[in-house]
Structure 1
Amino acid sequence: MLPIDGDDGFDRVPDSLVLLIFNQISDIRTLIRCQAVSKRFNSLVPQADTLLLRVDRVVSAGELDDSDSLLVTFFRSILKPLYDLVSHKPLPDPTRYQKSPGQILRGFERIRELEIELPSGDLRLEKGAVIRWRAEFGKTLRSCVILGFRGSGGGAADLSGGGLKMRVVWTISALIAASARHYMLKEVVREHGEIGRLVVRDQEEEGTVVMERDGLMECREEEQTEEVGDGLWWRSNRTTVPAVRMRMRHVPRLQLAGGIQMEGATLVVVRPTTTGTAETEAEEQCGDAALAFGAFGGVYGAAVEKLLKSRSYLLEMNSF
């Protein structure tokens, strides 16, 4: 139906449909641009509840101001690109975003799903090595699955001597990277109580941190306790990794469909050491499989399937 003279047909589109479109867009920079389109868009954009925040650059430790927290600097690094996108219109004083990391998202009223994309992975590995990891958190680490290998021609490595030590280093490095990302999220979790799912990943798909609804609730409850305590968690730049059990599986050479070959393929499933009833070997193996298949799909899922059939090695590590 053609609009009546003087009547904008787009105004007939209900707000609920516009918000559905905004949630499909999700990218915060694009949504900020949309706010400049009209007064209506300006009022509706803050109601978007599914958001993607892309970070151009993570500032190195050498660039940190002593008065700034890690997360303040993290979010400050994305302030300038956002400001550049909307510099054609009047904006509130941008320095206010530097007061608190949560303020970069405070313009959104009811975030329910948030994904943060980092520019690159955290690990610095030897040439030819590839690591993929996925960690789930509540107030602390709940689980972490790590898959490591070398590409074809990288040379196989066994689990004796240096080979085992190298893979333990890979595991510890992934846990440290995951705990640093979790710590980085605490202010966002506190500022936005309606978030039901929070994911941090990087463009290179090296690592992913996931917090689901129950984990977010647990994290908020823990933080309320810490805030009225001595505040020790503010003195570190990452969340403490609890004592964990690591079950490691290794295949010197893994041949997959399509001619894909992985040298020294290693799967590590990390879970906190519990004080309750110990799992049987079969229960633990079943739990490992569920976590591993939940972490990886595609070609990595095929690698996981074969690795789960191989012999496993159990290691334990104290909290750090």
Structure 2
Amino acid sequence: MLGPKKTMLTTVSHHSPGEVLKNFRAIQKLRIELPGGELGVEDGVLLRWKAEFGSTLESCVILGAAAHVNPEAEREKKVNKFEFGRSWFSQNRSDDRVVPETTDNVLFPSEDDSGSLPESFYTNGGLKLRVVWTISSLIAASARHFLLQQIISEHPTLKNLVLMDTDGQGMLCMGKEQLEDFRHKPLAASASANRTQVPALNMKLWYAPYLELPGGTGLKGATLVAIKPSDQPVRKEVDGFIAGAFEEPFKTAVSLLSKRRTYFLEMNSF
């Protein structure tokens, strides 16, 4: 009996979620897990997003970092490199310059940690990279939202829907009221792709050059972006959504970042 069951699962895995669910009735809660995230990021880069949708985007939070590191491993690697450099310098120097006696200055480059964005953030492409992360995450979220049309229309009893991926990269959430909103309002599709149109947005951005997280890891160039449509009033629920968007250790990262200086941005509909 194990053989046929495995064959059946293999066949089903090639169908869309709508096809798989067509024989089910009275579904109230549904959680769909995609085989992987849509966003291709370089090794070591952290990018996570969570979005709420009704008929359109209601809120989104994005956590990104240039590197998710283990400080002890980084320290050991850089100390070894430092010791090699000091040994080479001692053997080859031709003057009386003093060889540094500590490695503190080579472990993590010092940056302005006052809460302000460093000047280099604007000149070395740091801000541009964060904008790319934001747009890419919104496109991924709106594409997932667009794909849910068939499932939502065919399952009127659905009260809670979550669409995530095995990489833990992104999560789209819809509750009872949001699903009703989706069913009764026309979907604004993007003219350029199979995704929902992203409305004009107001965004808050927080940045830290380095954050230490529970479990001994850290984030370099940590960035938090909170997003809502420009035409929607600020809701208290949004603060709760941001605070609870991710599990530990990233929940701590969100808490630490949200206490820092806030930067405001706007984005046109696309």
- TM-score, normalised to structure 2's length? 0.72
- Contact 1:133–1:174, Cα closer than 8 Å, also in 2: yes
In the other structure, the counterpart of 2:97 is none
SS at match of 1:151: strand
Q: Give the whole-Å Cα distance in 2 for the aligned partners of 1:235 and 1:263.
A: 35
Amino acid of the residue matched to residue 159 of structure 2?
Answer: G
1:174-189 correspondence runs (5 A) = 174-189=137-152
Query: Could you tell me the percent identity over the aligned residues?
Result: 41
Amino acid of the residue matched to residue 52 of structure 2?
Answer: E
1:91-110 correspondence runs (5 A) = 102-110=18-26
Q: Give the whole-Å Cα distance in 2 for the aligned partners of 1:275 and 1:144.
A: 13
In the other structure, the counterpart of 1:274 is 231
In the other structure, the counterpart of 1:216 is 179
Give runs of ≥4 in structure 1 deviating > 4 Å: 153-158, 231-235
Are the structure 2 counterparts of residues 148 and 155 from structure 1 closer, same or farther at C-alpha, using a change threshold of 3 Å?
A: farther
Are the structure 2 counterparts of residues 232 and 292 from structure 1 closer, same or farther at C-alpha, using a change threshold of 3 Å?
A: closer
In the other structure, the counterpart of 2:204 is 247
Q: Give the whole-Å Cα distance in 1 for the aligned partners of 2:247 and 2:12.
A: 37
Q: Give the whole-Å Cα distance in 1 for the aligned partners of 2:108 and 2:37.
A: 23
Q: How many corresponding residue pairs?
A: 219
Q: Give the whole-Å Cα distance in 2 for the aligned partners of 1:232 and 1:163.
A: 31
Q: Give the whole-Å Cα distance in 2 for the aligned partners of 1:184 and 1:119.
A: 15
SS at match of 1:135: strand
Q: Offset at 1:83?
A: 4.8
In the other structure, the counterpart of 2:102 is none
Deviations for 1:237-280, whole angstroms, at most 9, x for unmatched residues?
0000000011000000111233221101110001000166xx5x
In the other structure, the counterpart of 2:134 is 171
- Contact 1:155–1:263, Cα closer than 8 Å, also in 2: no
- TM-score, normalised to structure 1's length? 0.62
1:238 aligns with 2:238: no
- Contact 2:206–2:257, Cα closer than 8 Å, also in 1: yes
- Contact 1:110–1:194, Cα closer than 8 Å, also in 2: yes
Amino acid of the residue matched to residue 197 of structure 2?
Answer: T
Deviations for 1:113-171, whole angstroms, at most 9, x for unmatched residues?
11111111111123321111100000000000000111225987953231011001000
In the other structure, the counterpart of 1:81 is 10
Deviations for 1:65-90, whole angstroms, at most 9, x for unmatched residues?
xxxxxxxxxxxxxx972459xxxxxx
Amino acid of the residue matched to residue 158 of structure 2?
Answer: I
1:141-180 correspondence runs (5 A) = 141-149=57-65, 150-152=67-69, 159-161=121-123, 162-180=125-143
1:313 aligns with 2:230: no
Q: Offset at 1:311?
A: 0.7
Q: Give the whole-Å Cα distance in 2 for the aligned partners of 1:206 and 1:264.
A: 18
Q: Give the whole-Å Cα distance in 1 for the aligned partners of 2:11 and 2:151.
A: 18
Determine which of 9, 32, 42 is the counterpart of 1:126.
Answer: 42
In the other structure, the counterpart of 2:254 is 304
Q: Give the whole-Å Cα distance in 2 for the aligned partners of 1:121 and 1:138.
A: 22
- Once superposed, what is the RMSD of the aligned Cα atoms? 3.0
Q: Offset at 1:305?
A: 1.0
Alignment gaps of 5+ in structure 2: 75-106, 112-117
In the other structure, the counterpart of 2:56 is 140
Amino acid of the residue matched to residue 297 of structure 1?
Answer: E
Q: Which has the higher contact order (CA 8 A, sep 6+)?
A: 2
In the other structure, the counterpart of 1:259 is 216
Higher helix share: 1
SS at match of 2:27: coil
Determine which of 165, 168, 171 is the counterpart of 1:202.
Answer: 165
